[in-house]
Amino acid sequence: MNIFQAVIFGIVEGISEFLPISSTFHLLLTKDALGLADSFFLNNFIVIIQSGAIFAAIALYAKKILLNRRLIINLLLSFFPTAVIGLLGHSFIKDTLFSSTTTQLVSFIGVGILFLVAEKYFGKKDQLLTSDQITTKDALLIGLAQSFAIIPGVSRSGIVLLFMLWRGYKRSSSAEYTFMLGIPTLLAASALDMLGLIQQTESITPLLMPLAVGWIVSFVVALFAMKWLVEYLKKHSLSIFGWYRIIVGLFLVLLTLL
């Protein structure tokens, strides 16, 4: 991998990790577009640059989390169902779902349709609740909803935003909650992936420069992406992401049929 490819991956990860468009789907797409084959280094690279986006969320929200005991409890409650399901299904997810293009495209387009449906039926009612008002019940249900993001193409932030929209939470506040929830969730997922990778014997030392560049780009881009999404959702709906998913997904379906 060269520096240019590392920058591209960092940009894609930074944008797609917290926007409701599925980072997994876009990273797999980027890998194919750049003509890169699966390898020990590439798998390590993706896990490491994902941590760049995670640390961006920590930089933005650590203080808010640490100063709010109720928020910490809610985040742990939301994290627990995802952790259990993710741990139990980790092997199946990696071995089966990640290799299925059909699964990825169906989930990518399907969630896009759900965005449009949710905005039509729930988006026009008053969204008055903030993340500080999340109940214990909703915190657990958010965790269950987030569990569906183990399916490539679904999007962790997207499914949580959909659920919170249905429950009457403000879009912008919901986005911030998904960012904060992403800290324990993505750290755990990255740690689980890393455990499998460190058992291999290949060295990544010769490629430290692309790793460093990808991490830094991911961190910086994720900072801007999170700030942008919060401001965007204060005035706009999720519909643009729904249309994006549908159009891009159908275009890719067409490409696979040609």
Q: pLDDT 10s per residue in the chain (258 long)?
A: 899 999 999 999 999 999 999 998 999 899 999 998 888 778 778 888 999 999 999 999 999 999 999 999 999 999 999 999 888 876 666 666 666 788 889 999 999 999 999 999 888 776 788 999 999 999 999 999 999 988 889 999 999 999 999 999 999 999 999 999 999 999 988 887 766 656 555 556 667 899 899 999 999 999 999 999 999 999 999 999 999 999 999 999 999 887
**Contacts of the segment 253-258: beta carbons below 8 A, 24+ positions apart:** 253/105, 253/109, 256/101, 256/105
- Nearest to residue 181, comparing CAs of 153, 139, 221, 217? 139
Q: In the 8-state DSSP scheme, what is residue 238?
A: S
201 class by beta-carbon count within 10 Å (0-12 exposed, 13-18 middle, 19+ buried): exposed
Contacts of 177 (CB under 8 A, 6+ apart): 131, 134, 142, 160, 164, 169
pLDDT at 258: 79
Please answer whether residues 179 and 61 qualify as being in contact, where contact means their C-beta atoms are separated by less than 8 angstroms.
yes
17 class by beta-carbon count within 10 Å (0-12 exposed, 13-18 middle, 19+ buried): buried
Domain count, the chain: 1
pLDDT at 88: 82
Helix (H, G, I), strand (E, B) or coil at 169: strand
What domain range is 73 assigned to? 3-257
Please answer whether residues 183 and 61 qualify as being in contact, where contact means their C-beta atoms are separated by less than 8 angstroms.
yes
Contacts of 70 (CB under 8 A, 6+ apart): 132
CA separation (Å) from 143 to 16, 22, 37, 250? 20, 17, 33, 29
- Nearest to residue 152, comparing CAs of 57, 257, 22, 250? 22
Length reported for the chain: 258
pTM across the whole model: 0.91
